[in-house]
């Protein structure tokens, strides 16, 4: 499961925090915030998005910074969140794969030494 935290900051400091159950809900909130910022000319907001991944015992947080005054075209951030999610998931899988390879190499060494000890006894 994924959980998305959105933090809205202004020049004066943190304005609020809200958590969403998925990326789509957070994306809708960000788009509404963009529209509001354009209507009220408050382009000093910075929206920070944290995507929390829970994969087995691993937990990684990705942070994306979205500034309303840099991008006023209502473009969604969902694609970027999904790309980051996939990238992090792939990195986590690579780490698991490398660990598995190391474990298998150690087992091979162990079995080779056992076989070397057994061969003279068999002959």
pLDDT averaged over every residue in the chain: 67
In a domain, 9, yes or no: yes
Structural domain span for residue 58: 2-89
Question: Is 113 contained in some domain?
Answer: no
Residue 44 domain-assigned (yes or no): yes
DSSP string spanning the chain? Answer: -EEEEEEEEETTEEEEEEEESSHHHHHHHHHHHHHHHHHHT-TT-EEEEEEEEEETTEEEEEEEEEEGGG--S---SHHHHHHHHHHHHHHHHHHHHHHHHHHHHHHHHHHHHHHHHHHHHH-
pLDDT at position 105 is 92
119 lies in some domain: no
CA 110 to CA 9: how far, in whole Å? 56
CA distance 38 to 52: 29
What's the number of domains the chain is made of? 1
In a domain, 72, yes or no: yes
pLDDT, position 115: 84
pLDDT at 42: 59
Residue 111 CB burial class (10 angstroms; 0-12, 13-18, ≥19): exposed
**Is the pLDDT assigned to residue 61 strictly greater than 50?**
no
Q: Is 39 within the bounds of a domain? A: yes
In a domain, 99, yes or no: no
**What's the confidence (pLDDT) of residue 64?**
46
Q: Is residue 94 a part of any domain in this protein?
A: no
């Amino acid at each position: 499961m994924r959980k998305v935290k959105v933090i809205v900051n202004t020049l004066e400091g943190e304005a609020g925090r809200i958590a969403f159950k998925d990326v789509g809900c957070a994306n809708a909130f960000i788009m509404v915030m963009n529209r509001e910022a354009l209507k009220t000319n408050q382009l000093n907001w910075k929206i920070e998005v944290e995507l929390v991944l829970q994969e087995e015992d691993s937990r990684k947080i990705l942070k994306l910074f979205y500034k309303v005054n840099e991008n006023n075209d209502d473009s969604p951030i969902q694609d970027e969140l999904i790309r980051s999610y996939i990238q992090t998931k792939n990195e986590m899988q690579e780490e698991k794969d490398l660990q598995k390879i190391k474990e298998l190499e150690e087992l091979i060494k162990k079995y080779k030494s056992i076989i070397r000890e057994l061969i003279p006894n068999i002959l």
